[in-house]
Structure 1
């Protein structure tokens, strides 16, 4: 599992992260489901980086999603990138294919 809370990680983790491992994470975190070749994911890159620079205590977990990847199906991910803000292991808000930083800021304010 690749987890960052101090700097932006540009790479999606291909490690097989399980739901049980996610449930062990304490506090708030931002899940990002996507793929490195996805144009929408690449477009969201700078907004994501900016958000994480503004909120250095927010854990960020990038998950490589795709066919046969169970975690994305568990979270109902259908389009990339999908960002899910988690608080105490509960989904609080999500945004799909954000086009600007304000859309990302909105989900972590909830």
Structure 2
């Protein structure tokens, strides 16, 4: 059993330093507090964070990050982005199972 790891909440202002300047892979969960599918995927994202200590996992409140939504072409939430050294490697829209997210981040 993996221990729960707190997924860090990142603001639009912190995104460049926390995500784009990070050396390594970052899983970014764009969500909104009112979004039901976002609530469904939240424990999945937390589980992945616990399973993969080499993967940085952050969440961004989409309501407070419109410029990031536009920059990354995000039209629906939840959206997961896999970013490495500032480059988007993969995008997944909608709720997903643990298996799907494991595959998404690369087992």
**TM-score, scaled to structure 2:** 0.81
Tell me what 1:8 maps to.
6
Tell me how large the CA RMSD over aligned residues is: 2.3
User: Which piece of structure 1 moves more, 16-25 or 68-77?
Assistant: 16-25
Kindly tell me the number of residue pairs found equivalent between the two proteins: 103
2:33 counterpart SS class: coil
Residue in 1 that maps onto 2:71: 74
1:12–1:35 Cα contact (<8 Å) kept: no
Structure 1: 5+ residue stretches without partners = 1-5
Partner of 1:37: 34
Q: Which has the higher helix share?
A: 2
- Asked if the contact 2:28/2:57 (under 8 Å) is kept, the reply is yes
Structure 2 spans left out of the alignment, 5+ residues: none
| TM-score normalised over the length of structure 1 | 0.79
Per the alignment, residue 92 of structure 1 pairs with: 89
